[in-house]
């Protein structure tokens, strides 16, 4: 496992620059002060999954404070998300982290559903997660180039983004998309040829009502095809990926029944999370 490089002296310097005491840092991490003392004096190293929280508390970028010298494997991606193996079960909808452990140890590959769910949880693309999985199995795979936020702007690029992240490389047929979009919109706006031209980039864009019908066909909100904001694209695709995974699990009967109390708590958590991301109303938006 290519661990991030931990330097206790750098941590101490950043903590002091942030005007935090060892006790302040310990309290923020819910650890004993002695643990921070040992880290800073090169007597111990914190678990890799704690590094993101440590960097955030001292106001540093993770890659700057704790650099990584090699591309990440599966365990690295999990640690960069600040998760233990046991934390992943709520995303994979399993009772045990054994599938994650097996994949990280290069013994058994993740299911497609788990790949989609973990990519969203770790805030990486499916391509990045699959590359990390290959490294966990001992393969030498170069780092996946980050897609420039400006690249995913045209309708064709957005369709390709959905095809890669949601449909595992194979999107629905053009005729099926046209049929679904027309049925859901209640209007005859799409044809097989039109969808094909949009997908191929022959037609770079289309009127808003056509884009809205295309969004309905892909089961994403209209803003996905209308906006050029990469954060909106990422949020939509992440939410869509997680929903797809749980829809598949529900169709299969799932591993266990979720209690009503748990459902209520999950609804509240999701609602609060989205409110925090988007802002509850204009008056509460930061200025």
Cα maximum dimension of the chain: 69
Q: For residue 249, what pLDDT is reported? A: 55
- Spatial contact of 225 and 214, defined as CB atoms under 8 Å apart: yes
Query: pLDDT tens-digit profile of 110-127?
Result: 998 889 889 888 988 888
Residue where a domain terminates, one of 23, 44, 65: 65
Q: For residue 149, what pLDDT is reported? A: 45
Compute the C-alpha angle 46/47/53, nearest 5°.
80
Q: For residue 277, what pLDDT is reported? A: 62
Q: For residue 257, what pLDDT is reported? A: 60
- Ramachandran angles phi, psi of 152, nearest 5°: -85, 75
**Residues 199 and 286 placed together within one structural domain of the fold:** no
**Total domains, the chain:** 4
Residue where a domain terminates, one of 103, 136, 169: 136
Q: Which domain holds residue 110?
A: 74-136
pTM, 2 dp: 0.56
Query: pLDDT tens-digit profile of 78-122?
Result: 999 999 999 999 888 888 999 999 999 999 999 988 898 898 889
Q: For residue 236, what pLDDT is reported? A: 86
The answer to whether residue 141 sits within a structural domain is no
- Read off the CATH number of the domain in which 223 is found: 1.10.260
As a residue count, the chain comes to: 287
> What does the radius of gyration of the chain's CA atoms come to, in whole angstroms?
22
Residue where a domain terminates, one of 104, 136, 168: 136
Point out the residues of the chain with pLDDT beneath 70.
1-2, 146-153, 169, 244-259, 262-263, 266, 269-270, 273-287
Give the 3-state secondary structure percentages of the chain, helix then strand then coil, rounded to 5. 60, 0, 40
**Residues 185 and 126 placed together within one structural domain of the fold:** no
The answer to whether residue 3 sits within a structural domain is no
**Residues 159 and 241 placed together within one structural domain of the fold:** yes
**Residues 107 and 164 placed together within one structural domain of the fold:** no
Task: Provide the token pair at 280.
Answer: 């509850």
Compute the C-alpha angle 240/52/272, nearest 5°.
45
């Amino acid at each position: 496992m290519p661990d991030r490089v931990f330097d206790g002296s750098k941590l101490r310097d950043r903590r002091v620059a942030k005007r935090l005491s060892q006790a302040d840092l310990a309290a923020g991490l819910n650890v004993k002060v002695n643990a921070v003392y040992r880290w800073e004096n090169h007597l111990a190293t914190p678990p890799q999954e704690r590094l993101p929280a440590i960097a955030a508390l001292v106001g540093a970028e993770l890659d700057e404070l704790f650099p990584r010298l090699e591309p990440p494997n599966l365990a690295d991606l999990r640690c960069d998300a600040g998760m233990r193996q046991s934390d992943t079960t709520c995303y994979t909808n399993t009772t045990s982290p054994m599938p994650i452990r097996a994949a990280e140890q290069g013994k058994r590959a993740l299911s497609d559903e788990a790949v989609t769910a973990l990519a969203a949880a770790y805030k990486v693309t499916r391509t990045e997660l699959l590359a990390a999985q290959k490294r966990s199995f001992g393969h030498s795979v170069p780092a996946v180039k980050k897609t420039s936020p400006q690249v995913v702007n045209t309708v064709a690029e957005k369709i390709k983004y959905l095809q890669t992240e949601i449909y595992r490389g194979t999107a629905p047929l053009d005729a099926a998309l046209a049929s679904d979009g027309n049925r859901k919109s209640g209007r005859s706006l799409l044809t097989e040829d039109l969808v094909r031209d949009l997908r191929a980039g022959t037609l770079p864009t289309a009127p808003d009502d056509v884009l809205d019908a295309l969004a309905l066909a892909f089961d994403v909100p209209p803003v996905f095809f209308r906006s050029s904001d990469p954060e909106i694209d990422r949020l939509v695709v992440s939410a869509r990926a997680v929903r797809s995974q749980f829809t598949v699990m529900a169709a299969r009967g799932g591993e266990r029944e979720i209690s009503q109390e748990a459902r209520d708590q999950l609804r509240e958590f999701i609602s609060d999370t989205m409110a925090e991301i988007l802002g509850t109303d204009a008056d509460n938006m930061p200025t």
